[in-house]
Each structure stands twice: as C-alpha cells, then as structure tokens.
Amino acid sequence: MTKIAVLGAGKIGEALLSGLLSAGRRASDLLFTERHPQRAAELAERYGVRAVDVPAAAEEADVLVVAVKPQDIEPLLDELEPRLAHRGGSDRPRSLVVSLCAGLPTGLFEARLPEGTSVVRVMPNTPMLVGEAMSVISAGRHATDEQLDLVEELLGSVGKVRRAPEGQQDAVTALSGSGPAYFFYLVEAMIDAGILVGIPRAMAAELIVQSAVGAATMLRGAEGHPVMLREAVTSPAGTTIAAIRELEKHGVRAALLDAIEAARDRSVELGRAHEIGSTTDQG
Ligand SMILES: NC(=O)C1=CN([C@@H]2O[C@H](COP(=O)(O)OP(=O)(O)OC[C@H]3O[C@@H](n4cnc5c(N)ncnc54)[C@H](O)[C@@H]3O)[C@@H](O)[C@H]2O)C=CC1
Ligand SMILES: O=C(O)[C@@H]1CCC=N1
C-alpha cells in the first residue's frame, strides 16, 4: 500500500489524515511530521498515526504531502532536499511531493529539491474532514500521468477532484480553497440577523444551517442553475425580493467579485514572495 506522510499537521493536514482514515486507509500507511510536540502527541493519540521527523518521513513515505503555511516553506525545503537526494541514490523510487500550499508554484519545489523530483500542486479545502473536499490538482514538470492518477485517487477518497492547468491555481485557491470560509461568514451573519428579528440563537442556527444544507443539495442535484433556484423562491411582491433589493443596494455581488479577486491576488503574491532573490514580505 502507498505510504503517505503529511508534513505539517495543522488544520488541513489533520483534515487529510482524518479523511484518509475515514475513507478506509490504514493508520500504519500514514505518517505525519509536526513541529509542535504537544500537537504531534495529541494527533498521534487521536488517530493512532505515527508522528515522525522529516528525515524519517522522506525515508519511509512514497508520497510527501506538504501542508505547512507558505511562509514556513523555506526551512522545510532545506530539510527535505538532502534527504530526497540521499534517497535518489538508493534503488527505491524517489518520493512524490504533493504541495497543498496556497500560491506556491511547482517550479519552487522543483528548483529547491533534487533535479527530477516529481511535484503535484493541489488546492483542497477543509470539508475534506467530512469527505466533501473540492480539490484541484496540477502536475509539475516531472510528474507522470501515473503519479497524477495516484494523487487523484488519494484525494478522490476525501471528496471531489478536478484537474486544471497550474496557471488556474491562484484563481482556484480564491474560489474553492477559501470558499468554505465565505459560506461560514454568510451563515454567521444570517444567524445574527435571526437574533435581530427575535429568534433565539440556537434556533436561528438550526434554521440557517438546514437551509444551507438543503440549498447545497439542490445546487448539486439536477435542479439546475442558481438563478433558476433563486427565482423559484422569489414571489412577486413577496419577502425574498424585499431582501434581494437590500443585498443589491449594499453591493453584495460586487463585494464578492472584489473579495475573490483579492484572494486570487494574494495567492499570486504568496508565490512571488518565494521567487529566487525576492526580498518582499512573506506574511
Ligand atoms: N486551512 C485551509 O482551509 C487550507 C489550507 N491550505 C494550505 O495548507 C497549508 C496549511 O494550512 P493550515 O493547515 O491552515 O495551516 P496551519 O498553520 O493550521 O498548519 C500548518 C502546520 O504545519 C506545522 N509546521 C510548520 N512548519 C513545519 C515543519 N518544518 N515541520 C513540521 N511541521 C511544521 C505547524 O506547526 C502547523 O501545525 C497552507 O499552505 C495553506 O495555504 C490549502 C487549502 C485550504
Ligand atoms: O487562507 C489561506 O491562505 C488558505 C488557502 C486556502 C484556504 N486557506
């Protein structure tokens, strides 16, 4: 069985470990590294997965999933490079490197890791925790079709997967990578509105969350385009159109366009901060 090591077990790293276990992968086929010992101990206890250091991960794993913040990538690459070079000298195939890092191009990994290292860039999202991730994958220069198939299979066990050219990854990051946060933000604001119109918080939360689940299920089903679904809720001289007028007046649609464009731009900036010779802020 393919052995997978998650390098950096924060929010998305944990979501991946948890999702792979729920999908039936054996704990003994998973490893992780985590620089905070207390966090490492908690996760090892919770999931029964072994915490190791980077050299052990590079030695044992077939797939190395990089899940540290883009700002933390440099020291990790420094640590990984000699280990992958060492493994390249043995009979075993070199590990496949899968990056989940927002903004970082496959070219960065290829430039910093031993010549010929296969890299796949992935933008997942946190619904991976419940087997409902949306992941978009792009091959680096040396990744083979078989390696891309392997990554697709891995991520397919924790949600939906699409392939896209790497040039689209910054936009993808802004849409589906960050996307769950926009929905959580909306739900939070709608619950507050429930309080404003006199509904107790717990009940407001139940009404809104179930409406979100129902709406998402309809969107995913055969029912059609979001405009048609919205029109079906919007009665002449009714309540919904009164609300929509306010949303339009407050520029919510324009705010979403600007927000997603800003997220795309930030992803590009995170990548640029790691260009060779760059002195720009990496935060
Ligand atoms: N949180 C999200 O919704 C998504 C995050 N991502 C990407 O995933 C990556 C991780 O994001 P989060 O999980 O949110 O961040 P996080 O900060 O929760 O997790 C990163 C973890 O890596 C550990 N770490 C840092 N350097 C390390 C090293 N050298 N060795 C071992 N462990 C190390 C940190 O202690 C931390 O626990 C980022 O690059 C982000 O762009 C991608 C898609 C969605
Ligand atoms: O906010 C971020 O930078 C990460 C990438 C996509 C979602 N979370």
Which atom of ligand 1 sits closest to the CA of residue 79? 29
In this structure, the answer to whether residues 246 and 143 fall within a common structural domain is no
Q: Indicate the pTM of the whole model.
A: 0.95
What residue numbers does the annotated binding site for NADP(+) cover? 67-70
Q: Which ligand is nearest to the CA of 15?
A: 1
pLDDT score of 278: 62
Structural domain contains residue 269:
no
Structural domain contains residue 274:
no
Boundary of a domain, candidates 169, 192, 219: 169
Nearest CA to ligand 1 atom 14: 11
In this structure, the answer to whether residues 62 and 198 fall within a common structural domain is no
Structural domain contains residue 174:
no
In this structure, the answer to whether residues 133 and 37 fall within a common structural domain is yes
What residue numbers does the annotated binding site cover? 67-70
Q: Which ligand is nearest to the CA of 172?
A: 2
CATH number (domain holding residue 95): 3.40.50.720
Cβ of residue 126 lying under 6 Å from some atom of ligand 2:
no
Domain of residue 200, residue span:
179-263
**At a CB cut-off of 8 Å and minimum separation 6, what does 212 contact?**
183, 187
Question: How many angstroms does the Cα of residue 11 sit away from the middle of ligand 1?
Answer: 6
Structural domain contains residue 163:
yes
In this structure, the answer to whether residues 103 and 234 fall within a common structural domain is no
Structural domain contains residue 42:
yes
Strand order in 159-163's β-sheet? 50-51, 30-33, 4-7, 63-66, 96-99, 119-123, 133-139, 159-163
CB-defined site of ligand 1, < 6 Å: 7-13, 33-36, 39, 67-70, 72, 75-76, 100-102, 123-126, 177
In this structure, the answer to whether residues 150 and 112 fall within a common structural domain is yes
Question: How many angstroms does the Cα of residue 67 sit away from the middle of ligand 1?
Answer: 5
Which atom of ligand 2 sits closest to the CA of residue 177? 6
ipTM score: 0.99
In this structure, the answer to whether residues 15 and 60 fall within a common structural domain is yes
pLDDT score of 115: 93
Q: What residue ranges of the chain have pLDDT lower than 70? A: 223-224, 276-283
pLDDT score of 282: 42
In this structure, the answer to whether residues 163 and 193 fall within a common structural domain is no
In this structure, the answer to whether residues 70 and 189 fall within a common structural domain is no
**At a CB cut-off of 8 Å and minimum separation 6, what does 154 contact?**
2, 4, 20, 63
